[in-house]
Amino acid sequence: MQRVFSGIQPSGIPTLGNYLGALRNWVKLQDDHECIWCVVDLHAITVWQEPEALRRQSLEMTAVLLACGVDPKRHILFLQSAVRAHAQLAWMFNCVARLGWLNRMTQFKDKAGKDRENASSGLYVYPNLMAADIHAYHATRVPVGDDQRQHLELANDIAQKFNHDYGVEFFPAIEPLIMGPAARVMSLRDGTKKMSKSDPSDQSRINLNDDSDTIALKVRRAKTDPLPLPADVSELADRPEARNLVGIFAALAETDHAAVLKDYGGQGFGTFKTALADLLVERLSPIAAETRRLLDDEAALLQVLASGAERAEAIANPIVREAERLVGFVNVR
C-alpha cells in the first residue's frame, strides 16, 4: 500500500478551497492508502500568529478534519510541532536546497509581498520544511490543491540532490495528487485570485463553519458577469468567475464542468446560484455541526493528537536518524 502524507496550516478556519482542493480527497484516499495527516503549526508561524489564537485554531483544525471524515484509528492525525523529526530533517534540507531554487517559489513572492526585507526567514525556507514533512515518512503520494504543485516539485528536487550528494537511493520520488474539478477554488469576489483563509475579506470565501444564511448570502453576492451560463465548457475559458462557480458545483455534485453546463447552460446566474447555495448547505452544514460537537470535548481531541504523534514518531524517527547517519553525524546514544 502506498504511503500518503498531507498537511494543512491552522492559520484560520478552513475554506471551501481547502475542502474541495484537499480535505475531501484526503478522505477518499483513506480506503486504499496508508495515510498520515498533519496540522502544520510550524508552517503557520512563518507569518505572525497570536499564541492563544494558534492554540485554538490547531484544535479547531483537528476537529474540522475529523468532522470531514479523517479516520484517526486506521490512519495518523497529529500536530507537526509534536514530532521533532520534521524540524530536524528540515535543517538538513536547508543545507541541501539552493537559494536559486527558493528564489523561484511564487508562493513566497505572493506572501512576502512588497515588503520582502521584513518577511521571516522561516517563510523563505517554508518549502524545505514541507519537503521534510513528506520525506520524513518516505511518503510517495501527496494530495494537495493546485497551488502546492511548485512546492512538491521542489520536494522532489531536494530528495534527488540529497540522494546524489550522499550517493544513496534513500528518499523516494513523490507523486502529487491534484484531483477533481476544484483543484484551485477562486475568491468569490475576484475570479483571478485564490480563495484563501487569510484573505482580509470574509465575503471572498466560504468558511467550513459558515451557517446556511451566510452561505446563501455569500453565493448570492458572488461576483459574476452579465451573460447567461454557456452551453459549452470552452466558453468558460475567459470567464473566471463563472468557471469558478461551475467548478465548485461540479466538485460538490461529484461530476464535471460539462455535466453542470448540460443542466444549467443558457440559464442566468439566479437559478444556478440558488441551486449552488442549496448544494453547499447540504454538504457543509453536517461538517459544521460535527465540528461544534467535537470541540465540546477538548480532552478527546488532545487524546487523538497524542496517539497520532506517538505513531508518527515511530515512523519518522528511524528515517531521520538514518538521514543523520548518512550526513555524517555521530550517533552518541
- Of residues 123 and 228, the one with the C-beta less far from ligand TYM: 123
Annotation marks residue 197 as catalytic: yes
Whether the CB-CB separation of 246 and 186 falls below 8 Å is answered with no
73 is in an annotated binding site: no
Whether the CB-CB separation of 301 and 63 falls below 8 Å is answered with yes
Kindly state whether residue 142 participates in binding ligand TYM, applying the rule CB under 6 A: yes
Size of the site for ligand TYM (CB under 6 A): 24
Whether the CB-CB separation of 40 and 7 falls below 8 Å is answered with yes
Using the rule CB under 6 A, give the single segment among 16-24, 51-59, 221-229, 298-306 that binds ligand TYM: 16-24
**Cα(48)–Cα(60) distance, integer angstroms:** 18
Residue from 66, 68, 145, 218 that binds ligand TYM (CB under 6 A)?
145
147 is in an annotated binding site: yes
Kindly state whether residue 148 participates in binding ligand TYM, applying the rule CB under 6 A: yes
Radius of gyration (C-alpha) of the chain in whole angstroms: 21
Kindly state whether residue 184 participates in binding ligand TYM, applying the rule CB under 6 A: yes
**Cα(64)–Cα(13) distance, integer angstroms:** 9
Annotation marks residue 193 as catalytic: no
The residues, ordered by sequence, that sit 6+ positions from 107 with a Cβ below 8 Å of its Cβ are 126, 127, 147, 150, 151
10 is in an annotated binding site: yes
CA 72 to chain centre: 18
Among all chains, which residue has been given the C-alpha cell 467535537? Answer: 294
| Environment class of 152 (CB within 10 Å of its CB; exposed 0-12, middle 13-18, buried 19+) | buried
Kindly state whether residue 62 participates in binding ligand TYM, applying the rule CB under 6 A: no
Kindly state whether residue 6 participates in binding ligand TYM, applying the rule CB under 6 A: yes
Residue nearest to ligand TYM (CB): 21
- Of residues 9 and 57, the one with the C-beta less far from ligand TYM: 9
C-alpha distances in Å from residue 269, one per residue of 140, 220, 245, 278: 42, 9, 10, 14
70 is in an annotated binding site: no
Kindly state whether residue 36 participates in binding ligand TYM, applying the rule CB under 6 A: no
Residue from 13, 195, 294, 295 that binds ligand TYM (CB under 6 A)?
195
- Give me 195's grid cell: 480563495
Annotation marks residue 194 as catalytic: yes
Among all chains, which residue has been given the C-alpha cell 452579465? Answer: 226
Using the rule CB under 6 A, give the single segment among 4-12, 109-117, 236-244, 258-266 that binds ligand TYM: 4-12
- Catalytically annotated residue among 28, 111, 161, 223: 111
Q: Is the dihedral of CA 26, 134, 309, 87 positive or negative?
A: negative
**Cα(165)–Cα(159) distance, integer angstroms:** 10
Binding residues: 9-11, 17-18, 133, 145-147, 185, 194-198
Q: Detail the residues annotated as belonging to a binding site for ATP.
A: 9-11, 17-18, 145-147, 185, 194-198
Residues that are catalytic: 111, 194, 197
Chain contacts with ligand TYM (rule: CB under 6 A): 5-9, 17-18, 21-22, 40, 43, 130, 133-134, 142, 144-145, 147-148, 183-185, 194-195
